[in-house]
Chain A
């Protein structure tokens, strides 16, 4: 007689660690079970069992980015890692910290704040998203121009293999070339190579002051041109984003400090949002010079906000990828060289999906352009059966991205369309190596099967 996965897992870990997967639907698939191991021993048992039974495992942290990735081939069991939520080690004077993978980013930052430090990871919904989840996705945030991606800060990692064996790479020192740098391999691997147990990071001191400038411009193109100029000066902000009019209006609704004087009611008005932090004097000088530059580059108005207001604006931009207010059906992130952000933004502005142009949030320093259809949360949603229009839109964006030697990842789209594409885009010529890695790390293909690039 066959036992359900819930039964089998309950036998392994006890029923309190297991529940049904009804509330965890992913791309139309409902996992049979959710399991919450509380220690490495339990986790090891789950993985060994899954390997021997060929049960697919979808590792999950806070679930804030679960719409990312391809439709899974199978989705048997959700592995909830949130019980692994301890701060393992923190030495402020070493400027390093080690945490368990299930700790939320905001909890980690709270611990580090006591030592006057922070980890330069950025993630939407930091109070829910976990360190392990952030590493698995590997994405940066609004300050990527300065801080780069999580890969830059990870110095050591503990990973459990599909055979239930704990392994580590790197360590707790900030400079380390002992053995292969598997930190880089696991970061951004989307949970397809192993289960992240813990991670060590190098940290930065917290800056005493923060500030932000919100500058309105007559067009998106003008805001990007000004933004690029600003990034090339010594007054450069840590991060800078240009928002199209619909997104800009949404800023005004969401960021309390955004003033009415920015003139965001106008149809075309775009916003250039820049964020600064550092010592008081230098921050003030940067913001003074940046304000002057933005005005000379044609800003309609520049609003200056400080400290908590500025941090609030930053949080808003950080939350964009998964903001629950986002009514968009189609979200695509294009990554290109920084100079190409302007032409890509301009060319993508003409792509309509079901009669609507995209909203845009462009980072002309890092070289990323996020496109949203429909543009605002009030926009109409597209009905099913209109997948072809969505697919056409994706195709057009990809063509532009490729023309500029970049990539376009579909972060969110209707399921009907999603089933027909690889959301990560065309496979690079190194796909064979990636497939070989997957085959060796996960020979039974149980970890997040099918959700990564090229069907990995």
Chain B
């Protein structure tokens, strides 16, 4: 079947207005939040599971690969169209189908925005815990594909810990249900292995998630430290007290400078690190633990400690952290974000290594990261207009990842492998390890027509495209 014929058939399924194929219109679907790009042949907006199934079946019949696309906030190229492929996007499948407060669960369509769900269920004293920093924009279907995390996954786990089940469309158009509405289900944990499969097993069309009660008390601490080392010591000290905060975030000196440039977040200009700690629970335990946390911050060299309990004031403490990535635009026009993870105790030494990489390549590197779970986010800052800049950045980025792996860590904590890190997979996995993983893909998608060319090394280098650092970008 040629492409025109396929487009006609697709229009027959979803309506003419719901198939985009003019090259101008396709440009906005060429990229996501990563440095990669790829122009899809078409983008289709289905309105139901049945339509998704028919679209997938048509594409399969035409030998055209398919990738699901949420809102394009992904940071590893996961939603970039494979060559000759089409995207299925979900602006029309964005309904919260059910909020079941008795059972503390909700059923949603894949296009629902993460924060919309959370906002909706908070009316009932509940919340959806996984909170990727892009939660204002990212979709739950995308969260499933990437197994997204967020600042609060330190205490509550990532997307996979909150998904009960989902309805998915496989590459032959079959609709199957994975998991169940009950917390325990029989058979292989297919919803578990599907979550984080980056769209390579199928397309999610409906999702059942678990909701948690909103805690009685929340208290946020902001500690200013002279340097990253002392802030890392504070992290260890908190953990050693047997405290698992709800969130434990850090930004370094360069990021602080950027944040202060774009708008006063109230940080001293000479601050070496800002540590954010959030505690949740009963008033009694938050009070008791607060004393220990505050003492630990002072003991490890904090020069200032601020605290807040009211929502508005807490938000104020988070402003600098949340706006950090966007603020980097005040330092350099582009950034390349690395998502390596290391064991907590290795944080300080790996950050030292990152500083050396920065020196070696003469690239400023700003660090914004989830300190509690060892998830670094070094942002390599550059100007893509300079020749060779991007190549140099990619090389330095690989070196940072190597540091993480050498410290007992891994390539990606929450952004996914996608296109960006697929050639680095052998740093952590052997051929045999990856062969076992590929058996799973064969079982779900034997023809490998769902988002092919992602995750596993195949010697093809994506065409990188520098991403402008701009206000509103988040991690």
- Hey, which chain A residues are within 8 Å of B213, CB to CB? 232, 234, 236
Instruction: Say whether A15 faces chain B, with CB atoms less than 8 Å apart.
Output: no
Q: In the complex, what distance in Å separates the CA atom of A345 from the CA atom of B116?
A: 36
Instruction: Categorize the interface residue count of chain A.
Output: 35 or more
Instruction: Say whether A405 faces chain B, with CB atoms less than 8 Å apart.
Output: yes
Give B158-200 as 1s and 0s: 1 = Cβ < 8 Å from A's Cβ atoms.
1011000000001000111110111111111110110111000
Q: In the complex, what distance in Å separates the CA atom of A116 from the CA atom of B428?
A: 30
CB pair A367–B425 under 8 Å, yes or no, is no
Among B104, B174, B183, B444: residue with most chain A CB under 10 A: B183
Instruction: Say whether A338 faces chain B, with CB atoms less than 8 Å apart.
Output: yes
Instruction: Say whether B49 faces chain A, with CB atoms less than 8 Å apart.
Output: no
Among B289, B373, B414, B421: residue with most chain A CB under 10 A: B373
CB pair B188–A185 under 8 Å, yes or no, is yes
> Which candidate, B239-247, B302-310, B360-368, B387-395, is the interface stretch facing chain A?
B239-247
**Would you give the shortest CB distance from A207 to chain B, in whole angstroms?**
8
Instruction: Say whether B43 faces chain A, with CB atoms less than 8 Å apart.
Output: no
- Hey, which chain A residues are within 8 Å of B146, CB to CB? 177
**Would you give the shortest CB distance from A202 to chain B, in whole angstroms?**
9
CB pair A281–B432 under 8 Å, yes or no, is no
**Would you give the shortest CB distance from B421 to chain A, in whole angstroms?**
8
Size of B's binding interface in residues, CB under 8 A: 88
CB pair A148–B186 under 8 Å, yes or no, is no
Instruction: Say whether A414 faces chain B, with CB atoms less than 8 Å apart.
Output: no
CB pair A177–B189 under 8 Å, yes or no, is no
The residue from A93, A180, A453 contacting B197, defined by CB atoms under 8 A apart: A180
CB pair A95–B443 under 8 Å, yes or no, is no
CB pair B192–A184 under 8 Å, yes or no, is yes
- Hey, which chain A residues are within 8 Å of B436, CB to CB? 159, 161, 167, 169, 182, 194, 441
CB pair B432–A167 under 8 Å, yes or no, is yes
Give B101-120 as 1s and 0s: 1 = Cβ < 8 Å from A's Cβ atoms.
01111000000000000000
CB pair B186–A453 under 8 Å, yes or no, is yes
CB pair A337–B103 under 8 Å, yes or no, is yes
Instruction: Say whether A173 faces chain B, with CB atoms less than 8 Å apart.
Output: yes
Question: In this complex, what residue of A is CB-closest to B197?
Answer: A180
* CB within 8 Å of A: which B86-140 residues: 100, 102-105
Q: In the complex, what distance in Å separates the CA atom of A437 from the CA atom of B178?
A: 14
The A/B interface has a contact count, at CB < 8 Å, of 256
Question: In this complex, what residue of A is CB-closest to B456?
Answer: A179
Q: In the complex, what distance in Å separates the CA atom of A278 from the CA atom of B174?
A: 47
Instruction: Say whether B288 faces chain A, with CB atoms less than 8 Å apart.
Output: yes
CB pair B412–A178 under 8 Å, yes or no, is yes
Q: Given A159-B436, A166-B432, A278-B285, decide whether A430 and B187 contact each other with a Cβ distance below 8 A.
A: yes
- Hey, which chain B residues are within 8 Å of A260, CB to CB? none
Q: In the complex, what distance in Å separates the CA atom of A95 from the CA atom of B416?
A: 23
**Would you give the shortest CB distance from A151 to chain B, in whole angstroms?**
6
> Which candidate, A262-270, A291-299, A350-358, A421-429, is the interface stretch facing chain B?
A421-429
* CB within 8 Å of B: which A378-431 residues: 405-407, 409, 424-425, 427-431
CB pair B443–A436 under 8 Å, yes or no, is yes
CB pair A175–B373 under 8 Å, yes or no, is yes
Instruction: Say whether A290 faces chain B, with CB atoms less than 8 Å apart.
Output: no
CB pair A174–B239 under 8 Å, yes or no, is no
Instruction: Say whether A152 faces chain B, with CB atoms less than 8 Å apart.
Output: yes
Q: Given A167-B432, A169-B437, A282-B288, decide whether A335 and B192 contact each other with a Cβ distance below 8 A.
A: no
Question: In this complex, what residue of B is CB-closest to A429?
Answer: B176
CB pair A173–B190 under 8 Å, yes or no, is no
Among B146, B190, B409, B439: residue with most chain A CB under 10 A: B439
Instruction: Say whether A286 faces chain B, with CB atoms less than 8 Å apart.
Output: yes
CB pair A407–B239 under 8 Å, yes or no, is no
Question: Can you name 24 A-B pairs with beta carbons within 8 Å?
Answer: A161-B432, A173-B341, A173-B342, A173-B409, A173-B413, A174-B341, A175-B413, A176-B410, A178-B421, A180-B440, A187-B189, A194-B436, A204-B244, A205-B244, A234-B216, A281-B288, A337-B100, A338-B102, A339-B100, A366-B183, A367-B183, A433-B176, A434-B187, A453-B186
Which B residues fall within an 8 A CB radius of A? 100, 102-105, 146-147, 149, 153, 157-158, 160-161, 170, 174-178, 180-190, 192-193, 195-197, 213, 216, 236, 239-240, 242-244, 281-282, 284-285, 287-289, 341-345, 370, 373-375, 408-417, 421, 425, 428-430, 432-437, 439-444, 446, 455
In the complex, the 10 A-B pairs of residues with the closest C-beta atoms, listed nearest first? A184-B192, A205-B242, A282-B285, A436-B443, A335-B184, A175-B413, A339-B102, A440-B439, A337-B103, A94-B343
Further contacts, 7 of them, CB under 8 A, given A173-B374, A178-B412:
A175-B414, A177-B417, A286-B282, A335-B182, A433-B444, A440-B440, A441-B439
